[in-house]
């Protein structure tokens, strides 16, 4: 098994460089040696990534392992633990052939040539760096376990998003306990977005592999490159040093989030001036140097990573004596928080400065469409803001259930990013929140509607029927710009759309964030 770093491999290293070669029969030379991959962490990244590797590399055995029995049971069932378009088909094709899910972490790690680590890297809640730095507890325990159980050489791949220089710490853990075994550490950050994970994995803009610039490091890079080269064109597989790969991941998320905060900052100015943020974004994005993607104004970005990774970046800048750089990136998060607060204030001020006792229908709770994930969703802050003003909420999301919503609304900041079975249980359910299973029940007798996720079905609801069943005046606050505001106005709604020219009603009741 440990032969994957031997002369046969060096031979490949010199020859590989074209997809043609990978597809030729000579490929067996390598694959017959590299037979098993294991991934620690069966989450949103580990599960889909490994399923696609199994699909594209039928000669490689892929085992996904996790400490959470519930998660592994779900991966082995008909109802997978995460909702992701296309994922069911890929898992069903490979499970029981070359893809398995197991809680027997140590056995599979010991048997594998290459071990991916895709565990949680939450924001620290206590101690040094609390509220900013990444908590590497789960990573460290995975690394110690690898060192303990390994009996042969291994390539250890950082898949989790980690602070720059984490590989150095991991290397120390592995080599101090190595018993003469060689470990090569690689950084292979994941760029998939939820909701499009399978298509992102099948057709990535790039795959990034960072490794040591030593002969062993280069061989390890090539071994991983060979796995991806089964389906990713070689010119899209970028190989760098370890620190560049680790930092590129944090930088990419920071740049993406910065675009959203930029357009959201513009949305506030649009509302104040009568400009339309969609028109501004379209005009700006037509410049090929800027490009059209990721310029949709919204109630704010959510998701498990943007905030966490920027906070982590801020902390790294501060630790490296770069306070100005830290402040620059911190502002991306401040604008995101401002956008959520601004949205809540707009609702409250439009409804005669109080929502106390009023029923507000919340359509959408997931952090974006086509996922059931609610981690750091802007809906949490918006709902908490409305509950703080004593509103009664009726929430509907096609993919998020009542338990999840109650947990999210009662959980402390950052607690969500720990393995589920280690999260604190919600003490009591949040009063004045009901969760329903369709938009018409949610909106019946409501005073206002907030749209917080851009699910396609919200575009085509029967808004006339909804209007008829609501209290008057009936309000729609569209945090995702999904509805046809003019059509709704004709029905009789008062409509607020992020960054769009304001109704006279709203102009008369300005919201101060
Ligand atoms: P997740 O919470 O869905 O999955 C992590 C899994 O790791 C959990 O199931 C947990 O039980 C398991 N785990 C933790 N410690 C373990 C241990 N010692 N042994 C075995 N299993 C263990 O998280 P995720 O969304 O998959 O994210 C994982 C990493 O990937 C994070 O660093 C994240 O920043 C990064 N990332 C996430 C995304 C995304 O879209 N979610 C995209 C790119 C990168
Ligand atoms: C993001 C990145 O897009 C991935 O490349 C990265 O791998 C991942 O984070 C990660 O590291 O976890 P994800 O969070 O799944 O992916 O989803 P995005 O599509 O980036 O959306 C993030 C948030 O921004 C969502 O709340 C979305 O609604 C919001 N958004 C996105 C906007 O408000 N406007 C936009 O124009 C785009």
pLDDT for the residue 417 = 67
Which pLDDT band, with edges at 50, 70 and 90, does 177 fall under?
Answer: confident
Ligand number nearest to the C-alpha of 161 = 1
What are residue 127's phi and psi, to 5 degrees?
A: 75, -160
Q: What mean pLDDT value characterizes the chain?
A: 90
Active-site residue, selected from the candidate residues 38, 94, 270, 305: 305
Which pLDDT band, with edges at 50, 70 and 90, does 31 fall under?
Answer: very low
Residues with CB under 6 Å of ligand 2 are: 161, 190-194, 253, 256, 260, 294-296, 298, 301-306, 367-368
pLDDT for the residue 504 = 86
pLDDT for 267-317, tens place per residue? 999 999 999 999 999 999 999 999 999 999 999 999 999 999 999 999 999
Question: Closest ligand 1 atom, CA of 193?
Answer: 40
Q: Decide: 118 in ligand 1 pocket, CB within 6 A.
A: yes
| Residue 388 annotated as lining a ligand binding site | no
CATH architecture of 25-232: 3-Layer(aba) Sandwich (3.40)
Give the lowest-confidence range in 130-144, 185-199, 300-314, 326-340. 130-144
pLDDT for the residue 479 = 98
pLDDT for the residue 506 = 86
CB-side neighbour CA atoms (13 Å) of 237: 21
Closest CA to 246 of 197, 294, 316: 316
User: Over 80: is that where the pLDDT of 6 sits?
Assistant: no
User: Over 80: is that where the pLDDT of 27 sits?
Assistant: no
Query: CA–CA separation, 402 vs 386, rounded Å?
Result: 18
Ligand number nearest to the C-alpha of 332 = 2
Query: CA–CA separation, 182 vs 188, rounded Å?
Result: 19
pLDDT for the residue 510 = 67
Closest CA to 118 of 150, 81, 156: 156
Nearest CA to ligand 2 atom 11: 305
| Residue 375 annotated as lining a ligand binding site | yes
Question: Could you tell me if 105 and 150 are in contact, meaning their C-beta atoms sit under 8 angstroms apart?
Answer: no
Nearest CA to ligand 1 atom 1: 43
pLDDT for 393-427, tens place per residue? 999 999 999 999 999 998 877 676 677 666 655 55
Query: CA–CA separation, 149 vs 106, rounded Å?
Result: 6
Q: How close is the Cα of 166 to the center of ligand 2, in Å? A: 24
| Torsion from C-alpha of 62, 66, 68, 74, nearest 10 degrees | -10
pLDDT for the residue 507 = 82
Q: Decide: 304 in ligand 1 pocket, CB within 6 A.
A: yes
The beta-carbon contacts of 270-274 under 8 Å, at least 24 apart in sequence, are 270/499, 270/500, 270/501, 271/499, 271/500, 271/501, 271/502, 274/501
Nearest CA to ligand 1 atom 14: 119
Which pLDDT band, with edges at 50, 70 and 90, does 40 fall under?
Answer: very high
- DSSP characters for 98-114? TEEEES-HHHHHHH-SE
Beta bridge partners of 360: 393, 448
Domain 275-497 has CATH 3.40.50.720: yes
Highest mean predicted confidence (pLDDT) among 131-140, 190-199, 409-418: 190-199
User: Over 70: is that where the pLDDT of 353 sits?
Assistant: yes
pLDDT for the residue 425 = 59
What is the DSSP code (8-state) at residue 344? H
CB-side neighbour CA atoms (13 Å) of 383: 33
- The residues of the chain that CATH labels 3.40.50.720 are 25-232, 275-497
| 36-40, strands of its sheet edge to edge | 99-102, 61-65, 36-40, 114-117, 154-158, 183-187, 207-211, 237-241
Which pLDDT band, with edges at 50, 70 and 90, does 33 fall under?
Answer: low
pTM for the predicted model, two decimal places: 0.91
pLDDT for 54-77, tens place per residue? 999 999 999 999 999 999 999 999
305 is annotated as an active-site residue = yes
| Residue 111 annotated as lining a ligand binding site | no
Q: Pick the residue with more confidence: 54 or 1?
A: 54
User: Over 70: is that where the pLDDT of 217 sits?
Assistant: yes
| 433-435, strands of its sheet edge to edge | 433-435, 392-396, 359-363, 448-451, 475-478, 494-497
Q: Decide: 41 in ligand 1 pocket, CB within 6 A.
A: yes
In the three-class reduction of DSSP (H, G, I as helix; E, B as strand; rest coil), residue 55 is classed as: helix
Closest CA to 380 of 413, 354, 332: 413
CA distances from 70 to 193, 268, 389, 419 (A): 24, 44, 37, 11
What are residue 37's phi and psi, to 5 degrees?
A: -115, 145
User: Over 80: is that where the pLDDT of 108 sits?
Assistant: yes
pLDDT for the residue 416 = 63
pLDDT for the residue 394 = 98
Asked if residue 473 has a cis previous peptide bond (ω within 30° of 0), the answer is: yes
Ligand number nearest to the C-alpha of 377 = 2
Residue 180, C-beta contacts closer than 8 angstroms, at least 6 positions apart: none
Q: How close is the Cα of 39 to the center of ligand 1, in Å? A: 10
pLDDT for the residue 145 = 94
User: Over 90: is that where the pLDDT of 9 sits?
Assistant: no
| Residue 399 annotated as lining a ligand binding site | no
pLDDT for 116-130, tens place per residue? 999 988 888 888 888
pLDDT for 435-460, tens place per residue? 999 999 999 999 999 999 999 999 99
Question: Average pLDDT, stretch 142-150?
Answer: 94
Question: Average pLDDT, stretch 236-241?
Answer: 97
Question: Closest ligand 2 atom, CA of 367?
Answer: 26
């Amino acid at each position: 098994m440990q032969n994957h770093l031997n002369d046969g491999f060096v031979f490949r290293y010199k020859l590989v460089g074209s997809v043609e070669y990978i597809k030729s029969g000579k490929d067996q030379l390598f694959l017959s040696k590299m037979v098993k991959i294991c991934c620690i962490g069966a989450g949103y990244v580990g599960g889909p990534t490994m399923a696609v590797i199994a699909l594209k590399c039928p000669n490689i055995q892929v085992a996904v392992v996790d400490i959470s029995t519930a998660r592994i049971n779900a991966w082995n069932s008909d109802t997978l633990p995460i909702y992701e378009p296309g994922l069911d088909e890929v898992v069903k094709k490979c499970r029981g052939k070359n893809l398995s899910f197991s809680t027997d972490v140590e056995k599979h790690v010991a048997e594998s040539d290459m071990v991916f680590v895709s565990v949680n890297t939450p924001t620290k809640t206590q101690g040094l760096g609390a509220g900013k730095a990444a908590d590497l507890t789960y990573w460290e325990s995975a690394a110690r376990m690898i060192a303990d159980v390994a009996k042969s050489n291994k390539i250890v791949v950082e898949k989790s998003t980690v602070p720059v220089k984490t590989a150095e710490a991991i290397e120390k853990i592995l080599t101090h306990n190595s018993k003469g075994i060689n470990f090569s550490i690689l950084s292979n950050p994941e760029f998939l977005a939820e909701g499009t994970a399978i298509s992102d994995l099948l057709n990535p803009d790039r795959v990034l592999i960072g490794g040591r610039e030593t002969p062993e490091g280069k061989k390890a890079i090539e071994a991983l490159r060979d796995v991806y080269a089964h389906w990713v064109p070689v010119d899209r597989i970028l190989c760098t040093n370890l620190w560049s790969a680790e930092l590129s991941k944090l930088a990419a998320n920071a740049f993406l989030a910065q675009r959203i905060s930029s357009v959201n900052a513009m949305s506030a100015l649009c509302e104040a001036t009568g400009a339309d943020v969609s028109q501004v974004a379209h005009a700006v994005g037509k410049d090929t140097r800027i490009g059209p993607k990721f310029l949709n104004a919204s109630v704010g970005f959510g998701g498990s990573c943007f905030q966490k990774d920027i906070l982590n970046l801020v902390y790294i800048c501060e630790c490296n004596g770069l306070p100005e750089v830290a402040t620059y990136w911190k502002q991306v998060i401040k604008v995101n928080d401002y956008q959520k607060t601004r949205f809540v204030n707009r609702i409250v001020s439009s409804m005669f400065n109080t929502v106390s006792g009023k029923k507000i229908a919340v359509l959408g709770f997931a952090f974006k469409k086509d996922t059931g994930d609610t981690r750091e969703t802007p809906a949490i802050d918006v709902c908490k803001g409305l509950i703080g003003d004593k509103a009664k909420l009726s929430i509907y999301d096609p993919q998020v259930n009542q338990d999840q919503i109650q947990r999210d609304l009662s959980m402390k900041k950052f607690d969500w990013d720990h393995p589920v079975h280690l999260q604190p249980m919600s003490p009591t359910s949040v009063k004045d929140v009901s969760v329903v299973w369709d938009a018409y029940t949610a909106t019946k007798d409501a005073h206002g509607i907030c749209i917080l996720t851009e699910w396609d079905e919200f575009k085509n609801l029967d808004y006339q029927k909804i209007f008829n069943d609501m209290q008057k005046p009936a309000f729609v606050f569209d945090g995702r710009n999904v509805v046809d505001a003019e059509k709704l106005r004709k029905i009789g709604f008062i409509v607020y759309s992020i960054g769009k020219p304001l109704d006279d009603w709203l102009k008369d009741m300005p919201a101060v964030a």
